[in-house]
Amino acid sequence: MTSKQKTAIVTGGLSGMGCAIAKRLADDGATVIVGARSGGDDAKVRTALGDHYGTIHAAPLDVCSSDSVNAFVAQVADDHGGVDILINAAGVYDEAAIIDHPDQIWLDQIDTNLSGTFRMIRAVMPHMRAAGWGRIVNLASVAAHNGMANNAAYCASKAGLLGLGRCVSLEGAAHGVTCVSISPTWVETEMLTQFIEADMATTGQSREQVRADYAKSNPQNQLVQPEEVAELAAFLVSDAARALTMEDYQVNAGSLW
């Protein structure tokens, strides 16, 4: 982190990688504001943030609504004098085959994962440009690089983040604003826990067996942890990462997925 305290927005910051990144940035001295649909639920916020409750701020945010995004960013800027860091971690996941693919599954994932990220960037860019400094990190996925059957919507939404990031990088370059993405493989988050439980119900295997199968998807035979992704994000938003922009960093443990 820099000598001047920075203000960071983390979308989807009450679970998974977003929550781990929010805590890591707060530990580095940043003022962190988490935006999530459940950001107004104090009990959920308290549970998610744990020891960081009270030091990390949380507020309701729907990245699928331009009105919600614009109001959220404007409030943060008014309260803290600007927005220095944006972590786009809000995302949804659902599976469907191409044949008879429901429109709603496609629209939901594109609107949240891709368009939601765009709305947030559009709202913070004027503040970063005015300050002459900004860091934007988008949570993509190895799905941005590799396909998987029954995952057209998710893969398309994450691949779109790479194209979006390149354009943002070019528009921000002359104003001290960088934009990068992080593309993890399977990370041991609440979402993966849901997948494991679904597989347990389908296969009759134990939790340990299913978890081991996911771990075997990469040559290291270990699931990536949210805190590992948070460590990378913390560096990418630092002053030391000034020249790192228009790039995607895969945290893949040697795996293609």
Write the CATH number for 61: 3.40.50.720
Q: Is residue 1 part of a domain?
A: no
195 and 76 fall within a common domain:
no
What's the pLDDT at 256?
Answer: 82
Token pair, residue 98, equals 């191409």
What's the pLDDT at 150?
Answer: 97
Q: Is 9 exposed, middle or buried (0-12, 13-18, 19+ CB in 10 A)?
A: buried
Domain total for the chain? 2
146 and 205 fall within a common domain:
no
36 and 131 fall within a common domain:
yes
101 and 215 fall within a common domain:
no
172 and 197 fall within a common domain:
no
Q: Find the catalytic residue in 53, 93, 154, 249.
A: 154
To the query of whether residue 93 is one of the catalytic residues in this protein, the response is: no
- pLDDT under 50 in the chain at which residues? 1-3
Structural domain containing residue 56: 7-186+225-251
125 and 166 fall within a common domain:
yes
Q: Is residue 127 part of a domain?
A: yes
What's the pLDDT at 2?
Answer: 43
Contacts of 160 (CB under 8 A, 6+ apart): 110, 113, 114
What's the pLDDT at 4?
Answer: 67
75 and 46 fall within a common domain:
yes
What's the pLDDT at 199?
Answer: 94
Taken in order 235, 183, 24, 30, the sign of the CA dihedral is positive
What's the pLDDT at 1?
Answer: 44
Distance CA 58, CA 41 (A): 9
